[in-house]
Chain A
Amino acid sequence: MGTSCHPAARVLVVISICCLCNFISGSEGDPVDSCPEKVGTCTVGHTGSNTPNIVGCLPCSYNYLTASYFDNHNSLLDSEFHDFLAEKIISNDLCKSSVNNIYKIRLSDLNRYLIGEGSHRHLVSTMRFDRKLDASKLQDDYFCETIIIERLPTGVFADPFELQHLVDQRVFLAAGVFGDTNLELPSALSNRSVVEIHMDVGSNIELKSYETVVQLPLHARYPPLDASGYAQVTIGKPDLFLRCRPKDLQKETCSWAVRSLDSKANNVTWQIPCGDEALTHIVSNVTFLSALTCSLLIVLSAVYLKTNISHVIVKDLNDRRDQ
């Protein structure tokens, strides 16, 4: 079977660092990002809700923020998910020194769109970060990651093994899929899943602004039947976090300072072809009729040809006896 032949670059996450000529000097003093506008809801799918403003610490032993959500929850509800994150990332003194530093990087823009066609596409998130002037110290002393959490609707899924392959190729620092990771079931029989991707924030200390592009490979499930012929699956805005820890880490006291990043983001909609319920009877009847016809043809031919062979043999034997 063919493939969509996406060029290699489509899957790779390109971290391009570029200077901005119109760097906003006013942003230096901003402690946190401004609150984004409400994201509108769409007809089908989960448009998601805004990430609450979360700042706190997380022990280094927790690799993924979302890994344990499904231990206590059967389904993914945005409000419960955000409560879970808020409870998980707690304020304490363990990461006090780091917390002040994580404000030195801010998200100024988030742009989202899908590339590719068909059932296997890439969700591209372009994040533009601004860095404070004294952020170079942050780079020297701290190790920082951007975390992007996608709360996927039932209509699409990410393949954990494919993501692991990208981690192996060092495209992502880490990537995990949680929730319903069954790759075969249609939407109607599936639950939502969460994808958590960790990215390096970039190491070029000279630049004050840079872009990070994440290309997440996604796959469409077979949607529920619909006469319109296409189902609309909407993927809402992701939850974004920045986390930093000192490079000289001590295991006992190692703790990440974590901060949510908020920004305006557009929803993306994926149009997926679906079956037409009106065809159910005709498809079933013709399917069974075809199977029955072909099987009868084989049965009759097997019987006829074997009988024919037997007749040939008898004739053959008689001919030879007569000779």
Chain B
Amino acid sequence: MFSPKMTPFVTFDLRRTILISAILRLALIVYGEWQDSHMVVRYTDIDYSVFSDAADLVLKGNSPFERSTYRYSPLLAFLLVPNSLIHRSWGKFLFSSADLLVGFFVDAILQLRGVPENLRLRSVAAWLFNPFTFTIGTRGNCEPLVCATILWIILCLMNGKAFQAAFWYGLIVHFRVYPIIYSLPLVLVINKANVGLSGKPALQQWGSRLNKLTTGPVPKPSVWSLLRSCITKERILFGLLSGSVFFFWTSLFFYLYGWEFLNEALLYHLTRTDPRHNFSIYFYHIYLHHQHGFSVLEKLISFLPQMMVQLALVFQFFEDVPLCFFAQTVAFVAFNKVITAQYFVWFFCMLPLILPWSSMKLKRKGLLCVLVWMGSQVHWLTWAYLLEFKGQNVFLQLWIASLVFLASNTWVLLMVIKHHRYSPLFEPLTSSPDARKLK
């Protein structure tokens, strides 16, 4: 589909991988139906019934926000209208299709970057056969739609279609808010050479000898020149277009559903704090303060680490877009005030895009990273189980487990960055004489 240059053997392999994944997902959707009707503990995500109820409401001409806890764009409710008209599993098929599409997009992006077939397939499999991701779509979670759109945006950029990328970016920020963290790297990576007027931009290839190169030896632009170079026509246009799309959908739904839409679908996500236990290190702090509220200083202090990390990662790594997005997302989730397990999908979809550039051996450090990350999660879950399902007062232990989880996230992120062969997505706009000589 996206790989016209692939050999028939590889095409077959990709197709077979996708086919097996599709069968797996189909089987899980069917199984989910059975479990829902026969067992008390349901397979289907609780949010899926929320989406379905909201879809039913818009079909009847009502506001989707009449369904309490519906906190998404009304677009999602409209997408799931066939749940009421065709079959209640429509949404699961839609989300699982998006999930498979992510597999296609991973392959397409890696192919454009010149990654060999076997590595591409391994990366695709790292997404498609990740038990965490294939259950997400089949349980009726909408995150695969967001993942597919983000990857599509990267593909658009790589194909020189920056304005199409801007359109989808505006839409997805309206849809799920969190991709707003990618606005700065997106704007920074856009320049004259990759806006598409002069055909496809030049992409750095995986096998390139100098794929560590940025824009020549130790570039140290002054703050003024950095600022001046930031404000270009292409960047302004990208910002304007994506902003317009965002405001178009937001205004449209504000016009249709009023403040309820704005509060539930947008402001709720920006101001969300949850005193109940979750992976975030902030949960116990929030619980201990919930009867008195927070001072402005406390709010600022809790925002500072997130801000610092995001800025540092963006300005250091924006040229290597997949690495930048991955690192930003891991950090964003790790430092967020609320962390639920579904947020992990946000960076799982970026992981296959950076695997081919990692020098980490899967059997050694790679495995260690997986074990540390999973281990700290299981440790947290053990305390959470004792609190939630055994009624034991282990708030303190659970909070310490959250700190351990943050530490493991930090360590794994540092390991990933350390072993990553830094590779800007695009060839530098102005190569140094040295670099040109070496080509």
In Å, the complex CA distance between A117 and B388 comes to 8
A123 to chain B, nearest CB (A): 15
Say whether, besides A1-B381, A118-B388, A224-B291, A273 and B305 are in contact (CB < 8 Å). no
Q: Which of B272-295 contact A (CB under 8 A)?
A: 274-276, 281-282, 284-285, 287-291
A-B contact count (CB 8 A): 173
* Complex interface bits, A294-314 against B, C-beta within 8 A gives 1, otherwise 0: 111111011101100111111
Q: Which residues of A contact B11 (CB under 8 A)?
A: none
B227 at the interface (CB under 8 A from A): no
Closest residue of B by beta carbon distance from A287: B285
B422 at the interface (CB under 8 A from A): yes
B392 to chain A, nearest CB (A): 6
Tell me which of A58-66, A142-150, A276-284 binds B: A276-284
Q: Is the CB of A287 within 8 A of B282?
A: yes
Q: Which residues of A contact B304 (CB under 8 A)?
A: 292, 295
Q: Which residues of A contact B317 (CB under 8 A)?
A: 302, 306
A231 to chain B, nearest CB (A): 10
Selected contact of B276 from candidates A184, A297, A313, CB within 8 Å:
A184
Say whether, besides A274-B393, A294-B406, A1 and B385 are in contact (CB < 8 Å). yes
B387 at the interface (CB under 8 A from A): yes
Selected contact of B422 from candidates A119, A188, A299, A306, CB within 8 Å:
A306
Q: Is the CB of A299 within 8 A of B387?
A: no
A317 at the interface (CB under 8 A from B): yes
In Å, the complex CA distance between A303 and B410 comes to 15
Q: Is the CB of A301 within 8 A of B290?
A: no
Say whether, besides A301-B418, A302-B312, A186 and B217 are in contact (CB < 8 Å). no
Tell me which of A3-11, A38-46, A196-204 binds B: A3-11
Say whether, besides A298-B313, A299-B308, A302-B312, A277 and B388 are in contact (CB < 8 Å). no
Selected contact of A275 from candidates B219, B316, B395, B410, CB within 8 Å:
B395
Q: Is the CB of A295 within 8 A of B285?
A: no
Give the bracket for the number of chain A residues in contact with chain B: 35 or more
A271 at the interface (CB under 8 A from B): yes
* Complex interface bits, A36-72 against B, C-beta within 8 A gives 1, otherwise 0: 0000000000000000000000000000000000000
Q: Which residues of A contact B40 (CB under 8 A)?
A: 6, 8, 10-11
Q: Is the CB of B285 within 8 A of A225?
A: no
Tell me which of B206-214, B347-355, B357-365 binds A: B206-214
Say whether, besides A2-B389, A283-B285, A291 and B312 are in contact (CB < 8 Å). no
In Å, the complex CA distance between A279 and B287 comes to 11
* Complex interface bits, B18-44 against A, C-beta within 8 A gives 1, otherwise 0: 000000000000000000000111100
25 A-B residue pairs with CB within 8 Å: A1-B384, A3-B389, A8-B40, A117-B390, A119-B387, A120-B388, A184-B274, A225-B291, A275-B395, A283-B285, A284-B298, A290-B281, A291-B281, A291-B302, A292-B305, A295-B304, A298-B312, A299-B312, A301-B414, A302-B317, A310-B218, A311-B218, A317-B435, A320-B438, A321-B434
